[in-house]
Amino acid sequence: MTDLLDRSLHLVERLLETLIAALVLGLLLIVASQLVDRHFVTLPMAAPDAYARVMLVWLTFVGFALAVKGGVNVRVDLIDAHLPPTIRRALEYVFDVLMLALTAIIGWHGSRLIEIGADQERLGTFVTEAWPAAALFGSCVVLVLFLVLRIAQRAVGRLPVQHLHAEVD
């Protein structure tokens, strides 16, 4: 069962990494097309910056979910560095539970943003305001999955991989 869970989690990570690569490529193409459009030939694309903004929102939220999964999300650990490992692990557990609760609340309300944004078109584009909201909601769903798994790992005494290296320091 654990092997199936690990493989599924690995697949989700690879899909998210592929999505990030596609978003970065899309942003690169849009920025390059704007350069060509301004200096060489007029291209038929209207409002490329609006598409770039939507891609950047997706990139931000998906990237944050992967950062949390990898344990490399931004965190101030000024006090944590001076605490004993057992207290540090307990604090990490508490922070994960708090982040899970906050993520669930944000995701719940983010689903409403998709409904509201579905009727609002972004000027000059073929997308609606539901697209950026979907990035928020989707990343919250993935974050909940990652956090539940990390909390479960801690509950059975198995440290998440990213924290094994921190314990050696």
Residue whose C-alpha is closest to residue 127's, from 25, 19, 48, 20:
48
- 66 pLDDT more than 80: yes
Q: How confident is the model at residue 109 (pLDDT cuts 50, 70, 90)?
A: very high
Q: Mean pLDDT across the stretch 87-107?
A: 91
- Both structure tokens of 112: 């409403």
Per-domain residue ranges of the chain: 2-168
- 102 pLDDT more than 90: yes
Angstrom distances, CA of residue 69 to CA of 52, 161, 167: 25, 10, 17
- Both structure tokens of 153: 């790992």
Least trusted range by pLDDT, from 1-5, 56-60, 68-72, 120-124: 1-5
Q: What is the pLDDT of residue 74?
A: 64
Burial 130-147 (b: 16+ CB within 10 A, else e): bbbbbbbbbbbbbbbebb
* The pTM of the whole model exceeds 0.85: no
